[in-house]
A and B are shown apart, each in its own frame.
Chain A
Amino acid sequence: MKRKIDIYLKKNIGKSATSSEYRKSILLEGEADSWSKIISAGKYAAKFGYKGVINKISLKGFSEDYISKPDFTDGKFNNYNTDVLIIGGGIIGCSIARELSKYNINILLIDKESDVAYHTSSRNDGMIHPGLVPKPGTKKAFYNVRGNYLWEKISEELDIELHRTGSVITYDKKFLNIIKPFLKMRADKNGVPIEFLNKDEVLKYEPFSSDDIVGGIRLPTAGIVSPYKATVAYAENAAVNGVVFGFNTFAEKINTVNGEIISVETNRGKILPKTVINAAGVYSDIIAQMAGDMFFSIHPRKGQIAILDKKYGNSLYSILSRPNLNFHSDTKGGGLVKTVEGNILVGPSAEEIPYREDYSTDYKTIISMISKHEKALNRINKNQIITYFSGIRAANYEEDFIIEKSDYIKNLIHAAGIQSPGIASAPAVSEEIEKLTVEVLSVYKEVKRKDKWINRRFSSPQPLKLSIKDRGNLILKNPDYGKIICRCEEISRGEIIDALKSPLEISDLDSVKRRTRTGMGRCQGGFCTPLVMQIISEFKNEPLNSVTKKGHTSFILGEKTKEFTGDDLNEKV
């Protein structure tokens, strides 16, 4: 096996490239002149049944990758004892924190950013996939289907919107009849309900679907959530149950003795955990390696997504796609998703890139996605775009989730390589990690369920979604709900204050935005940015120019103007 890999490397990468078996995995080393060659080598090596591919082939001329992290140090967590330390505040880390908060144990969740859901968990489609796509027998298939099922209960307990709309995939060629048996078989194997539709039935579900099709399939269990609101909801429920959230806390070094983690060093001091859970997303391989358990590599896969103005939302009811049968197309997959707020999302793309946090977007990709998906729904066009963004999937070469106790480090558990469908799978992944953690921790202490665990969380009011009467009554109780701050999304001062008062301490513009949708509408914050900043500065009792866009040093304002004479002009918001 290794021989074959070596031959491949010599031929495709160059003389310098070699492979070696490391524990149960295969380690690739050397230097290549293109990123795609490195990816191909990793994929090739993944075919031989090793536990993992550790791809350390470096890219010529590639300098150190940028990593967003706090720019200060303090001693907040120095010598901090905790039963469980969770590294990563995405949906995976937060859902694990919530499930573990049932027990009489101390839990600390750290994230290097100023809020939860800062990275991939706020940069995706929010689709609760039905589970047809993952290969039968993979962890992805199992956790996806189980997660999809569990979302029903979770969305109710956490009071978040789940739209179980189903998804429709249309075809224009007779093709469908040939692959029908194959699709049916896979659906049965994965345990996913499937319906075959003729053209009229497709148009019944999606009346504006392009009508040059012959039929389609429908996956009735597909659904949609707001991924960042879901992550916040998990985190808030965890916090209410005693989980401590350490934001702006960057795990830099992990110290082990005899195959056991004894401390984790951060910019805020040395944490002393009994067990550690690796939920670090695109950095999960780095965390594994820090702990001395190197066995896989993340190769970042970017996805760009365009958001259309809500005004045009009514041309779509659920989730619609029309697979491209031209395999040379550069934007594979993706489709159209109607978010719980009523916007249409177009995308995502899939691009292999060497950077883990490069959220740049480009015109060409955005436009090519619109042209591609226009074929499923003629009514969309590029003038309806209000904004676009990108996220990075934490793909490993095995293209499967890693949900297990470490083979080498006694008190380390991985929830790693959780690429798409990580949102859909989160409730099931956390259910499994809960079990594993209790097992591992039981070696150190007795783990018991708490007598009182609060499994319900209630969202703060969303006046826009209430009836006129209820909305009026709400305003009578608290007039702030009648003061509209964000005009495009109709968000009130009361909702912004609720977000600031929530169990997780937040203070930047993007954190408020993720919770309330301020600035997410068609004017993209042109009007409300200054107003939201004023509310934050007032609430925190800090100067206006200390408010940031997204934590760290992303300050919005510069210095005071020379001539400013007083607040006589100042709007009271």
Chain B
Amino acid sequence: MKKYDVIVVGGGPAGLAAAISSSENAKTLLIEREHRLGGILKQCIHDGFGIIKFGEKLSGPEYAEKYKDMVKEKNIDIITDSFITDIKKNDKTFSVTVVNSSGISQYETYSVVLATGCRERTAKQVFINGERPAGIYTAGTAQYFTNILGYLPGKDCVILGSGDIGLIMARRLTLEGANVKGVFEAKSEPSGLMRNIVQCLEDYDIPLELSTTVSRVFGKERVEAVETVRVDKNMNYIPGTEKVVKADTLILSVGLIPENEIAEKLGISTDIKTKGPFVDNSLMSVNVPGIFCCGNALHVNDLVDYVSESGETAGKNAALYKNTNRKLTKIIISDEFMYCVPQYINYETDEKNIIFYIRVKNNCNNVRIIIKNERDEIVYSRKYIIMRPPEMERLVINKELFKNTSFINISLENGDDNI
């Protein structure tokens, strides 16, 4: 059985960054189930990656290439086309079982970084009534068809959901000569980034219908049409607003779910808000020490730059990991927030600063994020003109501010208040 200090699971941007930072201080193995490294970036041939990290607009594969080059320079063992079938916790280590075309192998390691990315929510999970023809795909699958296989998913497309991948696919399909009949979004606000609404829909005259969903699919062999219907605030259909749209393809961009089957096998407790593990600021699981998590497996990110950042944090801490007792400070968020990562603070780490990734539930204008300690003292505050759910906020705060408190409270208040 081969031994490592750190095993990184997943070779997307999160895993690549984790392996690089881990290899500075530890013997590292990177395991990827696909043939090539790069994760989902391999199929994202549009640009807009790396503006924060590299100060330039790269395509997904270009961004991944930069990291792959860095990985090559380090002393990192890499196995691709390899699938993890089991992972077990031992006394001080973990054993990882891997299947690939040369057989089954087992590895032992002190810590593990989960960088397994996410999967897409499916048509069945959003409950569309009707028939079962061919022609219903998630946006990521449609993207694979178009960008990797070089085939259009169909001619006349309807897109359900205004997530970023859906918006990007609307543009891509239009450029390839397909007819995108519209993007339908059940919520009253688009769920993708503003820049994508402008660059992918408005620039191409693709209609976006808000508060509207797809209620039914027609067609036996291949999709022939879909029925759209307007919905009220509680997502109930409004009778009489049904419209039939002729289309041969229905593309869904209705959300991503972190892939955490490995974490679950290890009994890691997960946050129902992020659907990723509960972690502290070293990105280590709070209940299974030695397991770290980053990227989209931790929570769904909108910018790859932050994915790489979380990978770096997780990799570095995994390399330094020693099984000592932690004292954790719980982060409590108020109702206006969808989630905050990390969910706990470990004061005893090396970093000077703690990075918070935080997302609001609804659009808010002119607000202030306030952080208080257990004595109800304000330790941090920051004003925002606007906060939107699709755009995650990143806060970098000096760790010293969280000394000597057993919990902190993050809340959102009116931005006009004088503090």
Contacts and interface: CB of A to CB of B under 8 A. Distances in A.
A532 B135 CA distance: 16
A468 interface: yes
B87 to A, nearest CB: 14
Contacts of B140: 526
Contact of B130 (A360, A484, A490, A555): A360
Contact of A483 (B100, B144, B145): B100
Contacts of B104: 468, 471-472, 475, 482
B119 interface: yes
Contacts of A550: 134, 221
Interface in B134-163: 134-135, 137-138, 140-141, 144-155
A387 B126 CA distance: 10
A530 B124 contact: no
B125 A544 contact: no
A388 interface: yes
A561 B150 CA distance: 5
B99 interface: yes
Nearest to A564: B150
Contact of B141 (A66, A476, A530): A530
A472 B100 CA distance: 9
A534 B150 CA distance: 12
Given A526-B119, A555-B222, A386 B124 contact: yes
A360 B148 contact: no
Interface in A512-546: 522-527, 529-530, 534, 544-545
Interface in B27-86: 33-36, 42, 81, 83, 85
Contacts of A471: 99, 104
Interface in B97-133: 97, 99-104, 119-120, 122-125, 127, 129-133
Contact of A572 (B35, B85, B137): B35
Contacts of B131: 358-360
Interface stretch (A229-237, A345-353, A361-369, A424-432): A361-369
Interface string A451-481: 0000000000001000010011001100110
Interface string B171-182: 000001110000
B361 interface: no
Interface string A477-506: 001101110010010000000000000000
A482 B102 contact: yes
Contact of A562 (B176, B222, B261): B176
B261 to A, nearest CB: 8
A561 to B, nearest CB: 5
Given A475-B103, A524-B124, A552-B221, A561 B152 contact: yes
Nearest to B139: A526
Contacts of B151: 544-545, 557-561
A410 B78 CA distance: 71
Interface residues of B, number: 55
Interface residues of A, number: 61
Contacts of B100: 482-483
A569 B146 CA distance: 11
A556 B125 CA distance: 21
Nearest to B132: A359
B220 interface: yes
A530 B125 contact: no
Contacts of B202: none
Contacts of A388: 124
A418 B319 CA distance: 63
B152 A363 contact: no
B264 interface: yes
Interface string B371-392: 0000000000000000000000
A360 B220 CA distance: 10
Given A557-B145, A571-B36, A468 B97 contact: yes
A385 B152 contact: no
B21 to A, nearest CB: 26
Nearest to B43: A569
A527 B119 contact: yes
Contacts of A358: 131
Interface of B: 33-36, 42, 81, 83, 85, 97, 99-104, 119-120, 122-125, 127, 129-135, 137-138, 140-141, 144-155, 176-178, 220-222, 248-249, 261, 264
28 contacts: A68-B221, A311-B264, A357-B220, A360-B131, A360-B132, A361-B129, A385-B125, A387-B124, A472-B104, A475-B101, A476-B103, A479-B102, A480-B101, A482-B101, A482-B104, A483-B100, A484-B33, A523-B119, A523-B120, A524-B123, A525-B141, A530-B144, A530-B145, A553-B222, A555-B134, A561-B150, A571-B36, A572-B35
Given A484-B83, A490-B83, A557-B151, 17 more contacts: A66-B220, A359-B131, A361-B129, A362-B129, A385-B125, A468-B104, A475-B101, A475-B102, A484-B99, A554-B134, A555-B222, A557-B145, A557-B149, A561-B176, A564-B150, A569-B147, A571-B36
